[in-house]
Structure 1
Amino acid sequence: MTFPFYRPLTRATLAAGLCLSSTVAMADTVLTMSSWAPATSTLSTEFLDSFAADVARVTDDRVTVRILPAALGAPPQHYELARKGIADITWGNLTYEPERFKVMWFCELPMSGESGEAGSIALWRTFDTYLKDMPVFDGTHMLAVSLFGGADVHDAHRALVTPEDFRNQKIRMGNPLQKTLLEKMGAIPVAAPATKAFELIDSGVIDGSLHPIESIIGFGLQDALPFTTEVEGGLYDAMFFLAINQGKWDSISDEDRAAISEITGEALSAKWGAFWDGENATAREKLVAMGHTFATPEPALTDMIRKVRTDFLDQWYADGPDFGLPNAKEVVVFFESNYAEISEAAQ
């Protein structure tokens, strides 16, 4: 799956989105969705299109979702697009705005889990129990959350299996959490979108890059990054949201809100996580068939990664009162216990 990058939000695109929303809504309750995934991507065809079809089905077509032909802004702007009602529904990654959504850091840390489905269900339960009423989420109603189920480091030259292997390696990353992770491991972070990975490797700017397995196939990086280090529980993860503007949600009838609620929340989060699991499994099978090198960390590297996680969490717990979460440790214990319970039940 590949995601292009879009031009910055402009008055013209905002006006276009608002006009389109008001025009199509005259005939029916049509919810406009801004998506930065190409219409041909599997995320669109297998998950977002399915979600839209399910909304129409459970409401007997009284409520429909129209995915706009082009995104109304860049990926980091999508939460605001929903909060402000520029688009009714959006999806994205909250840690594109890391300081604003510091409450979500815990689920993107190393060794958070290898199952996207179990992680997504556990994250939904955690969000629903502890986080949904926090002021940072005012203005939206969350429809689903998801996790990749662990992502990896991939290298152009060798498998990175010891702490020394990471030293001074130039590795592409996508957000400040990943930057801090790489710095703590002795690597040199290079900030760039995933779409630039091939170009940066080809020009010698980077040695490796952070991606989930599915993106190695999706971005055509199988030849450029032939070495993958698989950390148990993932070297990192990425948290995604699907949200609707609160005012728009409130405007839907009680009957239709109830129907949509039955297919969203934990149910849709599970479906989204299972989608990522399927994408990663398919990509891994293809890479194995191509002779791709998969390696596991030596004990010293595993210990270092575990310490990075522990240090991250200790600081996050200490900072919890500052971002409105004095019970931050309780939140993580809840998430981890739910993940373990769900994973065990699935075996």
Structure 2
Amino acid sequence: MKKTLISMAAVALTSLTGLAQAQTVLTVSSWLPPTHTASMAQKEWCDLLTENTKGRIKCNILPRGVTPAPGTYDAVKNGLADLSYTVHGYTPGRFVMTQMTELPFLGNSAETISVALSRVTGKHPEFAAEHQGVKVLTLFSHGPGIVFNTKRPITKVDDLSGLKFRVGGGMVNEMSKALGMNVTLKPAPDSYELLSSGVMDGTLFPAESTESFKIDKIIKHATTFPGGMYNTSFVFMMNQAKYEKLSPEDKKAVDDISGETAARIFGRGWDKVDRRAFALMQANGVVITKADAKFVKEVKDKTAPLEQAWVKAAEGKGLKNPAKVLADFRAEIIKLEK
């Protein structure tokens, strides 16, 4: 009887040890606060992965980022974190193909733009190949870009001159220059200090960011554009070595909720907080100006050369027929917004 009990205990211990060894813990980093919609979307994705793998994969979400925003890509690539997201434009010149996401007047919803981006880029492996050293889980965008400032209404291109704006980099930086704006490349979390101190007069942001970065009581004016004045391209990624160590079953579980599923999680969350932020702006007396047809045409005319420049640059990086890829992207957004 004693031997039987010892044998049963040994079997149980072996089983528990096997379970412990089978569990994978992903170290998850975010350079944004835990309450930010992107951080919450990342957690939602993690929770879904844990559920779908019956607990075989769990996420250890760190209380703060392992690095400031511009270093996040390399932090994941080098294994300082297993999972995170970042803005492509925070590392200028590194990513070219994804800049198509940042062109003006693409769409009116983070979810539709993000899902369309995932669908179209998923058909072109060159986009994933541009992200050397990481496993791309999805590409996504925030909501339509708005021009915010603390000084005056902006109703035409000439109104943009004479003010100092913070921008996030990438295509929006080039677009701002084409519009004659005085811009400085700074990460989004720096916005409160820059605006409250008067170092900057304005910023280009989606609606959500006025609440997230606590500038909703500093901003006095907002100019919106149909389809957004710009968008920002993000990558949600995993350390490549960590992914490769997963079992085939767990790799499939990751892949099954990557791409469009992950893009929808990030985009849907962003749209929700964009709507809330507009209500807060109204409550705080922010004057909201809708760009008229003349203003929109001015912006289109001045930024049109950037599209051709992107086509040429993307072709140089190995993307086949970039003009068609961009056209397909726009068509997919239109289809999703119907």
What TM-score comes out, normalization by structure 1 length?
0.85
Match for residue 216 of structure 1?
A: 210
The structural deviation recorded for 1:42 is 4.2
Matched residue, 1:274: 268
Which amino acid in structure 2 is aligned with residue 120 of structure 1? S
Matches within 5 A, 1:20-169: 28-44=23-39, 46-132=40-126, 135-169=129-163
Q: How far does residue 201 in structure 1 lie from its aligned partner after superposition?
A: 3.2
Equivalences, count: 319
Distance of 1:315 and 1:296 partners within structure 2: 28
**CA 1:103/1:133 → structure 2, altered by over 3 Å: closer, same or farther?**
closer
> CA 1:82/1:38 → structure 2, altered by over 3 Å: closer, same or farther?
same
- 2:84/2:237 contact within 8 Å kept: yes
Cα distance between partner residues in 2 of 1:325 and 1:43: 28
Gaps of 5+ in 1: 1-24
Paired residues for 1:171-210 under 5 Å: 171-210=165-204
1:51-100 deviation line (CA, Å, top 9, x unaligned)? 22111110011111211233222212222222233322121112222312
1:28–1:62 CA contact under 8 A, matched in 2 = yes
Distance between the aligned counterparts of 2:259 and 2:129, measured in 1?
Answer: 19
Q: Contact 1:120/1:273 (CA < 8 Å) preserved in 2?
A: yes
* 1:301 counterpart residue number: 295
CA positional deviation for 1:293: 1.1
Q: CA–CA distance in 2 between the matches of 1:299 and 1:112?
A: 16
Deviation at 1:341, TM superposition (A): 1.0
* 1:230-309 mapped onto 2 (5 Å cutoff): 230-309=224-303
CA distance in 1, matches of 2:105, 2:302: 10
Q: Which moved more, 1:100-109 or 1:253-262?
A: 253-262
Instruction: Measure how far apart 1:161 and its partner are.
Output: 0.8
Percent identity between the two aligned chains = 28
Report the CA distance shift for 1:106/1:133 in structure 2 as closer, same or farther (over 3 A).
Answer: closer
Task: Return the offset for 1:176.
Answer: 4.5
Cα gap change, 1:284/1:203 in structure 2, threshold over 3 Å: closer, same or farther?
A: same
**Residues 1:199 and 1:65: Cα distance change in structure 2 (over 3 Å):** closer
Whole-angstrom distance in 2 between the partners of 1:290 and 1:168: 25
1:320 corresponds in structure 2 to: 314
CA-to-partner distance for each residue in 1:172-231, whole Å, 9 max, x for gaps? 222143332222112211333333334333443332211111111222222321110001
The separation in 1 between residues aligned to 2:117 and 2:61, in whole angstroms, is: 26
Quick check: which has more Rg, 1 or 2?
2
| Structure 2 equivalent of residue 19 of structure 1 | none
SS at match of 1:91: strand
Q: Distance in 1 between matches of 2:121 and 2:56?
A: 29
Query: Could you tell me the TM-score, scaled by structure 2's length?
Result: 0.87
| Closer/same/farther in 2, CA of residues 141 and 223 from structure 1, 3 Å limit | same
Measure how far apart 1:132 and its partner are: 4.9
Conserved 8 A contact 2:76-2:238? yes
Q: Is the 8 A contact 1:150 1:236 kept in 2?
A: yes
Counterpart of 2:319 in 1: which secondary structure? coil
CA 1:184–1:330 in structure 2 vs 1: closer, same or farther (change >3 Å)? same
Distance 1:31 1:109 in 2: 34
Given the superposition, is the C-alpha separation of residues 63 and 134 from structure 1 closer, same or farther in structure 2, using an over 3 Å criterion?
closer
